[in-house]
Amino acid sequence: GDSVTQMEGPVTLSEEAFLTINCTYTATGYPSLFWYVQYPGEGLQLLLKATKADDKGSNKGFEATYRKETTSFHLEKGSVQVSDSAVYFCALSAGGRRALTFGSGTRLQVQP
Amino acid sequence: GAVVSQHPSRVICKSGTSVKIECRSLDFQATTMFWYRQFPKQSLMLMATSNEGSKATYEQGVEKDKFLINHASLTLSTLTVTSAHPEDSSFYICSAGVSGETQYFGPGTRLLVL
């Protein structure tokens, strides 16, 4: 079945540091890939997505590129801020299903 | 963006009682809503797909008589955990979509069964 694997957290960085959160997947066919973010006390929010190979999703300084050859969708940001502290979930939808398959989430803590 | 609410945000109940969780789309209509369950430090796992006006579709291993889903209107889906037991304690999250693949998530409901 479909699955998503994320690096375990927490990831602790200083402000303005470079961020990478790794995400790899297994899926039948050609999935769409997503990054969701959950801020404390709030629901999951879509951060970015990519629907086909080599697409790059970007939003709020975050980027992720759909790499079919490595089945990866790593999240990156060049300079993190304290306000980026949250839990980040990698997810996919495949086979025409709108429901999502999620990774376990990675907690990011950014210190001033 | 679209907003999805859940109520209650937190509930504590005794073993053997039933608990109802509501999921509402506040500013859009959703023919389909999804219910997920999240254990501590684990993924969100899809439990069922809630379809307005018809029976829910349950994922393999999810007991439909245990987790009753009712999607009576285009803005409301409810999940009832019947005869709850401590192993049902978890974080329950719903989502709804307007169109395409983008899903909007509720803030979740934390259930603790004593």
Q: DSSP letters of B14-68?
A: -TT--EEEEEEESSS--SEEEEEEE-TTS-EEEEEEEETTS--EEPTT--TTTEE
Q: Is the pLDDT of residue B31 over 90?
A: no
Task: Give A18→chain B minimum CA distance, Å.
Answer: 24
Q: Is the pLDDT of residue A95 over 70?
A: yes
Which pair of tokens denotes residue A59?
């939003």
Task: Give B53→chain A minimum CA distance, Å.
Answer: 18
Q: Is the pLDDT of residue B9 over 90?
A: yes
Strands B109-113 and B10-13: parallel
Structure confidence at residue B5 (pLDDT): 93
Structure confidence at residue B101 (pLDDT): 66
Structure confidence at residue B46 (pLDDT): 93
Please tell me the distance from the alpha carbon of residue A74 to that of residue A90, in angstroms, as a whole number.
9
Q: How many CB atoms lie within 10 A of CB A55?
A: 15
| Adjacent-strand bridge partners of B33 | B50, B96
Return phi, psi of residue B9, to 5°.
Answer: -85, -25
Those of residues 41-100 in B touching chain A at CB distance below 8 A are 41-46, 49, 93, 95, 97
Structure confidence at residue B40 (pLDDT): 77
* pLDDT tens for each residue of B53-101: 888 999 999 999 999 999 888 899 999 999 999 999 999 999 997 666 6
Residues from A in contact with B at Cβ < 8 Å: 4, 32, 34, 36, 41-46, 49, 51, 89, 93, 98-105
CB contact under 8 A, A36 and B105: yes
- Across residues A65-87, what is the average pLDDT? 96
Which helix (H) or strand (E) segment is A46 a member of? strand A45-50
pLDDT range class, residue A46, cuts 50, 70, 90 = very high
- Residue B107 gets the label, from left (phi > 0), alpha (psi -120 to 50) or beta, of alpha
Closest CB to A98 among B44, B97, B107: B97
Taking the Cβ of residue B106 and every Cβ of chain A, the question of whether any pair is shorter than 8 Å is answered with yes
- Across residues B37-63, what is the average pLDDT? 88
How high is the mean pLDDT of chain B? Answer: 91
Q: Is the pLDDT of residue B50 over 80?
A: yes
Please tell me the distance from the alpha carbon of residue B34 to that of residue B74, in angstroms, as a whole number.
13
Interface test with B, best of A98, A101, A107 (most B CBs within 10 A): A98
pLDDT range class, residue B103, cuts 50, 70, 90 = confident
Task: Give B110→chain A minimum CA distance, Å.
Answer: 12
Structure confidence at residue A69 (pLDDT): 94
- Across residues B4-18, what is the average pLDDT? 96
Chain B residues with CB inside 8 Å of A103's CB?
43
- Across residues A39-62, what is the average pLDDT? 92
Chain B residues with CB inside 8 Å of A102's CB?
36, 43-45
- Across residues B90-114, what is the average pLDDT? 87
Please tell me the distance from the alpha carbon of residue A14 to that of residue A81, in angstroms, as a whole number.
8
How high is the mean pLDDT of chain A? Answer: 93
Q: Is the pLDDT of residue A33 over 90?
A: yes
Structure confidence at residue A17 (pLDDT): 97
